[in-house]
Amino acid sequence: MKRKKKYENAAWNFQLDNVERYAYWKNAFTKEECEKIIKIAYKKGMTKGLTIGNPKIRSSEICWLYSVDDLDWAFQKVTDIVLNLNKQFFNFDIFGIHEGFQFTNYKSPSGKYGKHVDKLFKGVVRKLSISIQLTDPKKYKGGELYIYDSDKGEVMEQEQGTLIMFPSYTLHEVKPVTKGERNSLVVWVTGKQFK
């Protein structure tokens, strides 16, 4: 009688991957704080948002904001939330915000940012990406932020003041704004090289 061959699994995992796809924080900013940020950005002036590679993937205007723009309070709020969410959902080795806040304006009829990742090649090590909804969603249509781990994707919360955070290597997009305009803050949290 022949014995059945025993199939063995050679894998032995040291740890399970507990990194979440995304996390969010409602009311990161109040309505009044969102409006203050928008006002500061428009006062500084906007420029065309650019991309590396395909320029047709993006249609938006941007402005860079820093703590010296009367935004110490906003940087502190974002820092506190990032540290909290990172500890709960990602546990990445992070150390700061080195590119400032990117204020982004998407105008109808076609303001968008097609599918992309925020991770840079031969640049700073972006570990976590953040999108903060500054505009009341009743004031525009379209402009949904989608995060993908399959072909379908998942639409993110659009409530004013909500912060969404996800690993910077995650595929995501902002769908075209079809009515009105949408303002958001984009922030990248940096750290040591992934190992």
Q: Are 106 and 143 in contact (CB under 8 A)?
A: yes
Global pTM reads 0.91
Q: How many domains does the chain have?
A: 1
Domain region containing 51: 23-191
Question: pLDDT by residue (tens digit) across 118-162?
Answer: 998 888 999 999 999 999 999 999 999 999 998 899 999 999 999
5 in a domain, yes or no?
Answer: no
Confidence tier at 51 by pLDDT (50, 70, 90): confident
Phi and psi (nearest 5°) for 183? Answer: -115, 140
Q: Is a pLDDT exceeding 90 seen at residue 17?
A: no
Cis peptide leading into residue 109 (ω within 30°): yes
3 in a domain, yes or no?
Answer: no
16 in a domain, yes or no?
Answer: no
CATH number at residue 73: 2.60.120.620
99 in a domain, yes or no?
Answer: yes
The DSSP 8-state label assigned to residue 186 in this structure reads E
The H or E element spanning position 7 is: none
Separation of alpha carbons 139 and 156, rounded Å: 17
1 in a domain, yes or no?
Answer: no
12 in a domain, yes or no?
Answer: no
157 in a domain, yes or no?
Answer: yes
**Percentage of the chain modeled with pLDDT above 70:** 96
118 in a domain, yes or no?
Answer: yes
Task: For residue 147, give the nearest of 175, 126, 180, 121 by alpha carbon.
Answer: 175
